Amino acid sequence: MEFKTMQIGEKEAGEIISEIYDNSGYDFFQYSAPSLIRRFQRYIDLKSISSLDELFTLIGSEPEKMNEFIEEITVNVTEMFRDPYFFKIIRQALMTELYDKSPLKIWHAGCSTGEEVYSMAIILKEKNLLKNSIIYATDINQSVLDIAKNGAYSLENINQYEKNYTDSEASENLNAYYEVKNGEVVFNTELREKIIFSTHNLVSDSVFNKFDIIVCRNVLIYFNKELQNTVLQTFYDSLNPDGFLALGSKESLLFSPINQLMDEYNGQFKIWKKKG
């Protein structure tokens, strides 16, 4: 036997998505199919599931199981100071275009376990802007937000983070911002004071505030083009004039109508500015 478990194709994926929607209300219809297929397949291989019915019985049995399944299929990988050069550019923008905003309002959409938000808080602190900032950090997934709130991470990746941080043209040492407790890296509570963590579903929830910076990196890649455009419109509507929109390094506005309404601020690191 080559494959013991069931093989997921587009058809099966569609059925699973419907089942999730009927069962939990979460709407994955417009997610990018190949990613979902891969995540479904991974889960099914992991649990040695041999039919859709078996899967539905498993995840339908209790809400806990459904949540666990949804958490399994959304990708939460993240890093501190990922793409260090991106953060370098943000530093520059903070000192120029964004310097006078008070309060400076920032939205991290799809913040996952928070590494990206803490990275932002650190550079705000260094530019002495943190106390005047309000950061909204949102994600669809409550359990990653719980981790984000704690600001405690495994020691395993800290060397990579230190290096990223240095490459972002840092002025300090990253270890100025954390302590190691019980084998974990714990970020100073001071960084967290201005961050509001909350669930927000980009698919179904709408504009809830106006922002000077919206950071949404490596989230749109999980959506199909149509959903990307809807969400990009939401971002556009949530930006103050001259506000910044930052996407992941391989994402773009190219296919979106709001492309006309934004100026490219940095092409390589995917930062746009809303026309004033």
Ligand X SMILES: C[S@@+](CC[C@H](N)C(=O)[O-])C[C@H]1O[C@@H](n2cnc3c(N)ncnc32)[C@H](O)[C@@H]1O
Interface residue list for another protein (CB under 8 A): 2, 7, 9-10, 32-35, 37-39, 75, 77, 218, 220-222, 224-225, 228, 248-252, 254-255
Distance (Å) of CA 148 to CA 71, 197, 264:
15, 8, 31
| Residue 1 binding target from another protein, ligand X, none, CB below 5 to 8 Å by type | none
97 versus 167: smaller Cβ distance to another protein: 167
Find the radius of gyration of the CA atoms of the chain.
20
| Residue 134 binding target from ligand X, another protein, none, CB below 5 to 8 Å by type | none
Inter-residue contact 140 to 74 (CB < 8 Å): yes
Q: How do beta strands 152-154 and 271-274 pair?
A: unpaired
* Span from 136-144, 162-170, 178-186, 256-264 in contact with ligand X (CB under 6 A): 136-144
The yes or no reply on residue 116 touching ligand X (CB under 6 A) is yes
Please name which of 186, 167, 170 lies closest in space to residue 178, comparing C-alpha atoms: 186
List the interface residues with ligand X, window 217-246 (CB under 6 A).
217-219, 222
* Span from 12-20, 139-147, 175-183, 268-276 in contact with ligand X (CB under 6 A): 139-147
Closest separation in Å from C-beta 247 to another protein: 9
Which residues face 274 on adjacent strands?
262
Q: Calculate helix-pair angle for 10-24, 63-73, nearest 10 degrees.
A: 140
Q: How many CB atoms lie within 10 A of CB 250?
A: 9
Question: 201: helix, coil or strand?
Answer: coil
Q: How far is CA 177 from the centre of its chain?
A: 22
- Which one among 36, 104, 121, 140 touches ligand X, defined by CB under 6 A? 140
Closest separation in Å from C-beta 110 to ligand X: 3
| Residue 252 binding target from another protein, ligand X, none, CB below 5 to 8 Å by type | another protein
Inter-residue contact 117 to 137 (CB < 8 Å): yes
The yes or no reply on residue 74 touching ligand X (CB under 6 A) is yes
Angle at 69 between CA 66 and CA 72, to 5 degrees: 155
141: left (phi over 0), alpha (psi -120 to 50) or beta: beta
* Span from 49-57, 87-95, 110-118, 124-132 in contact with ligand X (CB under 6 A): 110-118
| Residue 37 binding target from another protein, ligand X, none, CB below 5 to 8 Å by type | another protein
Residues contributing to the site for ligand X (CB under 6 A): 74-79, 82, 110-112, 116, 139-141, 144, 201-203, 217-219, 222, 248
